[in-house]
Amino acid sequence: MEFNVRRLAADAGTFLSRAVQFTEEKFGQAEKTELDAHLETLLSRVESTKHWTEKIMKQTEVLLQPNPNVRMEEFLYEMLDKKVPMRANNHELLGECMIDSGHEFGPGTAYGSTLIKCGETEKLLGSAEKEFIQSSAINFLTPFRNFIEGDFKTILKERKLLQNKRLDLDAAKNRLKKARVADARSAAHHLRCLNDFVDAQAAYYAQCYQYMVNLQKQLGSFPSTFSNNNQPAGSSSASISVPTAQPAASLPAPPPSQASPALNELRSTSGTRKARVLYDYDAASSSELSLLADEVITVSSVPDMDTDWLMGQRGNQKGKVPITYLELLN
């Protein structure tokens, strides 16, 4: 329903625009785009052809059927899409009358036999007339009627479409002309609005800069130990670095008696081992690898790496992982 209303509103607007343009053209208040001279000549020839074709058709129908009542009856049957009943024409009626009278006077008499021969000839004339009417209707009237009801209607439709497009074009040209005048009048106002926008934007960025400077000063006043907690690895080998994703108190480290021999063996051989993840871990930087609890990954020791970290690998993903989150498997 909403689509139909919008479509109806758009069509109404287009129709109103065309009506205004057509009216202004009639009163000489709007410019009109002239069509090509050759096209105008063709359109005039079409109108003339249609006029004379209709006159020829009408007079031919009168010739083929002089009785207007019969023509009206045939027209009604054609409109109702029904077959026109067959009826005898004047020659056939005269022939039947002569034949009947000839039999009445006696075929053996000279007058009676003559009447019969004349009647048969009249019937032949009636049949010839029917053939003439049928041939004329098929070969002469039907092409004319097809032109009037087919080709000419198509030409009228295309001409109406061309006229509508021309009205739309001229209406658009007039709107463009008026818009240019309006733009010239409002250029100064638009420039002032643009300057106001630039001033407001400059004030906005200056205010944002001041807010960020104040925030930077506040962050600089925090203790250095608070800032060090955000580092991915501890600087001291004696203390174990705690990742930012989990509190240190909630993640108990494995007993040193169980972890140290396996770690020492891993570091001494520089090989790889399988390790099970004890807790979920979110990487704090792109050099670290995020972990999921109970998954098994491959770990290895890398030279010059902090003692609290190992290099972990899961498929094609690789990154540092904290030792406290792992349980080395035999």
Position 99 scores a pLDDT of 94
Closest CA to 289 of 256, 252, 316, 255: 316
Is residue 282 predicted with pLDDT exceeding 70?
Answer: yes
Tens of pLDDT along 20-47?
777 777 777 677 777 788 988 988 999 9
Q: Residue 321 is inside which H or E element, if any?
A: strand 317-322
Cβ atoms of 288 and 314 closer than 8 Å: no
Is-above-0.85 flag for pTM?
no
Alpha-carbon span 83 to 146, nearest angstrom:
20
Position 252 scores a pLDDT of 46
Tens of pLDDT along 54-106?
999 999 988 888 878 877 877 787 777 777 777 888 899 999 999 999 999 99
Mean of all residue pLDDT scores within the chain? 81
Is residue 316 predicted with pLDDT exceeding 80?
Answer: yes
Position 8 scores a pLDDT of 67
Alpha-carbon span 61 to 74, nearest angstrom:
11
Cβ atoms of 272 and 299 closer than 8 Å: yes
Position 226 scores a pLDDT of 44
Closest CA to 296 of 322, 278, 272: 278
Tens of pLDDT along 159-198?
889 888 888 888 888 888 877 777 777 888 888 899 999 9
Sign (positive/negative) of CA torsion 270, 275, 278, 281?
A: positive
Is residue 265 predicted with pLDDT exceeding 80?
Answer: no
Q: Residue 297 is inside which H or E element, if any?
A: strand 296-300
The residue ranking higher by pLDDT, 307 or 18, is 307
Kindly write down the DSSP assignment for every residue of 66-77, as one continuous string: --HHHHHHHHHH
Q: Read off the pLDDT of each residue in 308-330 and give the average, rounded to a whole number.
A: 90
Is residue 254 predicted with pLDDT exceeding 60?
Answer: no
Q: Which residue's structure tokens are 């608070």?
A: 226
Is residue 308 predicted with pLDDT exceeding 70?
Answer: yes
Domains delineated in the chain: 17-192 (1.20.1270.60), 254-328 (2.30.30.40)
Distances, alpha carbon 12 to alpha carbons 21, 67, 278, in Å: 14, 49, 72
Tens of pLDDT along 96-150?
999 999 999 998 899 999 999 999 999 999 999 989 988 998 899 999 989 998 9
Position 225 scores a pLDDT of 43
Tens of pLDDT along 185-232?
788 888 889 999 999 999 999 999 999 988 888 887 765 444 444 444
Position 3 scores a pLDDT of 54
The residue ranking higher by pLDDT, 2 or 275, is 275
Reduced to 3 states (helix: H, G, I; strand: E, B; else coil), residue 300 is strand
pLDDT band at residue 261 under the 50/70/90 scheme: confident
Position 312 scores a pLDDT of 93
